[in-house]
Amino acid sequence: MNLSFSLTRAFVLGLLSAAGFALFALLLGYNRIAWFDNRIISLVGKMESPGMTSVMKGFTFIGYGKMVLLLSLTILFLLHRVFKHRRELVLFGVVVVGSGILNFVLKSIFHRERPTLHRMIEEPGFSFPSGHSMAAFALYGISAYLLWRHFSSTLGKAILITVCAFMILAIGTSRIYLGVHYPSDVAAGFLASGAWLALSIYYFEKAEERRKKRIGQSGA
C-alpha cells in the first residue's frame, strides 16, 4: 500500500511539474511572461551589494560544469563504496545526465535570448530554461532521494532536505541576480528537471517492485 502510494505520488508530481513547465512555455510563446519576470527581478534587485554579488558568483560556480561533476563523483563514491548501492548508481546517472540532455534539447527548441540589462557576467547560449537550475534540481533532488534512507533521525532528514532545497534555490537565484537568466527561465528549469526527476524515480521504483516480486517468486 505504501509503495503504491509513493509510486502514484511520484507519477502525479512528475505530471504536475511537466504541466507547470508547459504553462511557462505557453506564456513565453504568447509574450505573457513579462509581468512575472519583472516582479521577481525587482525583488532580487533589492538584494544587490558587493558582498552579495560575490556570494552569488560563488553559487553560480558551484551550480554547473566542473563543480557539478566533482559533486556527482563524490556522491557516486558514497553510494557505491559506503552505502553499497548498485542499481541506484544507474538512476543517479540517468537523472543527472538526462537533465543536461533535456536542457540542451529544450533550449534548442525555444531559442530565447538572454537578458541584456544589468548583466554582471557573460554566458553563452540560449536562456530558456536555465541549465544551472535544471542541473541543481537534478543533482540535489536525486541526492536527497537516495540519501534519505540513511538518516535515521528526523533531524538528520530535515537537515538533508533543507540543505538540498537551499542549494537549489540559491543557485537558481544567483542566475537571476547576475542577470544571465529571467526568473521564468529558472522556474521553468526547476519544473522541467522536477518532472524528469519524479518520472525517473517512478520508473525506477516500478522496476524495483518487479525485481523484488521475481525474487520472491523464485524463492517460494
Summarised one tens digit per residue, pLDDT across range 42-58 is 999 899 999 999 999 99
Cell 552505502: give the residue: 83
The whole-number average pLDDT for the span 184-209 is 92
**8 burial level (CB within 10 Å; 0-12, 13-18, 19+):** exposed
Q: Quick one: pLDDT at residue 1?
A: 37
Amino acid at 215: I
| pLDDT score for 2 | 44
Cis preceding-peptide flag for 115 (omega within 30 of 0): no
User: What pLDDT is recorded for position 220?
Assistant: 52
Instruction: Give the C-alpha separation, 54 to 49, whole Å.
Output: 9
Q: How far apart are CA 98 and CA 103, in angstroms?
A: 9
Q: What is the pLDDT of residues 110-161, one digit of tens each?
A: 999 999 877 888 888 899 999 999 999 999 999 998 888 777 788 988 999 9
Average pLDDT value over all residues in the chain: 88
> Which of 75-89, 98-112, 167-181 is predicted with the least confidence, judged by mean pLDDT?
75-89
Structural domain span for residue 52 = 2-219
State the Cα–Cα distance between residues 79 and 210, nearest whole angstrom. 22
Structural domain count, the chain: 1
Interval 58-88: pLDDT, tens: 999 988 878 888 888 888 888 777 777 777 8
CB contact at 8 A, 137 and 189: yes
Distance between CA atoms of residues 193 and 152, nearest Å:
28
Average pLDDT over residues 33-42: 93
Q: Torsions phi, psi of 208, nearest 5?
A: -65, -40
